[in-house]
Structure 1
Amino acid sequence: MLINPNHSISPLVAVKSVSDNFELIVQMVKREVIGRYRGSMIGLAWSFFNPLLMLAIYTFVFSVIFQTRWAGIGEEQSRTDFAIIFFAGLIIYGLVAECVNRAPTIVVSNVNYVKKVVFPLEILPLVACGSALFHMLVSVVVLLLAELLFAHQLPWTVLLFPVVLVPLLLGVAGISWFLSALGVFVRDITQVTAMLTTMLLFLSPIFFPASAMPAELKIWMTLNPLVYFLDEARNTLIYGVVPDLSNWIVATCISAFVAWLGFAWFQKSRRAFADVL
């Protein structure tokens, strides 16, 4: 039996597929983003106003009603500090949650592409990730505008935020590849991912700093891969702290391995997609 070279699990094939189909990925991401707001009165502007409204709500609820303070940043913090720190964490979580929750249905909802031999199915999870990345970047703009408004300055380390995104996007791509293939065979996985992402929201240092965890539970916090990205996002976007190079290299290597595992699973599974769908 001849093996389609496009079904190779080599990481070089993944890189080549992204490179060769980059324009197609960009066009499909544009179509998906615009399609989400098609028919609305202000269209794509909702992608900006939604996070702006949410930040305003978080600021009011946490700073005015609950008067919550973020431990570890001193007593001089303003009313908006908690909301900004919380929103920065929520931005990272939102990217991961959207990709993970959408991945199991991404192939199932595009059966017409499965039937096309020449279509690169492996880019479908990346299109979903690209759409989530677009909305995350819009939220980052809202966050930076809020910092300028309330703190009147931005740390120069904002320029290093894309560096933090490299291992995050690699890991999310790997998970998306894995779940998108698994979702073809196990339709219940959608319900599982919804529960897991909800658990991740409350078990990650989004509403609270990692230092606030009891000592006996901190070991479990180290097993949460989201913690590193939450800390580094806040360091670069808010605190002005340069990411540690050694930690970044380790995170990138692990994420690259996860990406390859997810891609390999997708490539091995795709041969049966047409039979199942």
Structure 2
Amino acid sequence: MNPHEIAPSSPMAMVRSAWRNKTIIRKMTVREVVGRYRGSLFGIAWSFFNPILLLVVYTFIFGVVFKSRWGATQSPDHGEFALIIFSGMIVHGLFAECFNRAPSIILSNPNYVKKIVFPLEILPLVSFGAALFHTCVSCIVLLCAIIMIKGAVPLTALLLPVVLFPLSLFTIGCAWFLAATGVYLRDISQVTSILTTIMMFLCPMFYPITAIPEDYRSLLYLNPLTLIIESTRDVLIWGTLPSFAHLATYFMLSLVVACTGFWWFQKTRKGFADVL
């Protein structure tokens, strides 16, 4: 890499960078995941304990204490409500972890900016890889819980990667944009945490979308998490096919967000060293 070259910012450059640096991304992702639990008694096993404990709490609170029903569901038995909530929180957690951390990615790694020639554009990918690992662990816990509570996992669960892929592109695009902007505008890290909290309550995570008056339901779909949460429940819990037309539209919009975020990151990266 020549540090004086203009960083390529085309969609093909985005793909080439990820492919060319795939080994670095993999090793740094493993290091980040392991480093998060370094020094703890149970180590990486906490990545399994945390979602299990959350699921147990949700099952007890919603299934036993409140005996909650989801929409027109007649029976609150077997903690199905907890599964519904947990599946939504998995999707939100994948997005929120990357979105909240993105503004500080460059700021927390000044040595990569100042002292060595490093492909900075992979740092958001590393952060996403770590978040994806925890999402996969949570999905394994959820699938085991579905087997225990409902008896079997629907065959449509195989479509979960198809459902999550557009959200992954969208999240990475946002991470690139926020990572670059956070270098110049430090207050943005305060805004992202508030925004992800608002997004959590303005999507059908704790309530069915049918609970919203029909005139306002379309507004919930402006939230990028709504379609993915609904589709995740379709394939994992209800055993129905998602709307592939809506997912295709979401994918195209996510691709635009990813390309735009990468373009912004590459165009602004030359000023990182001066600001840091």
Normalization by structure 1: what TM-score?
0.96
Q: How does 1:182-193 map to 2 (within 5 A)?
A: 182-193=181-192
Q: How does 1:1-277 map to 2 (within 5 A)?
A: 7-72=7-72, 74-116=73-115, 118-277=117-276
Structure 2: how far apart are the matches of 1:63 and 1:183?
Answer: 41
Unaligned runs of 5+ in 2: none
The CA deviation string for residues 4-41 of structure 1, in whole angstroms up to 9 with x for no partner, is 55612101000000000011101100000000000011
Structure 2: how far apart are the matches of 1:150 and 1:66?
Answer: 18
Structure 1: how far apart are the matches of 2:262 and 2:115?
Answer: 20
Structure 1: how far apart are the matches of 2:172 and 2:133?
Answer: 15
Contact in 1 for aligned 2:87/2:233 (Cα 8 Å): yes
The CA deviation string for residues 164-211 of structure 1, in whole angstroms up to 9 with x for no partner, is 121111000000000001110111111100111111111111001111
**% same residue:** 49
Structure 2: how far apart are the matches of 1:6 and 1:105?
Answer: 24
Q: Which amino acid aligns with 2:46?
A: W
Contact in 1 for aligned 2:102/2:175 (Cα 8 Å): yes
* Residue 270 to residue 62, structure 1, CA distance change in 2 (3 Å): same
Contact in 2 for aligned 1:67/1:79 (Cα 8 Å): no
Q: Which amino acid aligns with 1:100?
A: F
Structure 1: how far apart are the matches of 2:25 and 2:221?
Answer: 34
The CA deviation string for residues 205-225 of structure 1, in whole angstroms up to 9 with x for no partner, is 100111111233223212111
Unaligned runs of 5+ in 1: none
Q: May I ask how many residue pairs the two structures share in their alignment? A: 275
Contact in 1 for aligned 2:93/2:135 (Cα 8 Å): yes
Q: Which amino acid aligns with 1:157?
A: T
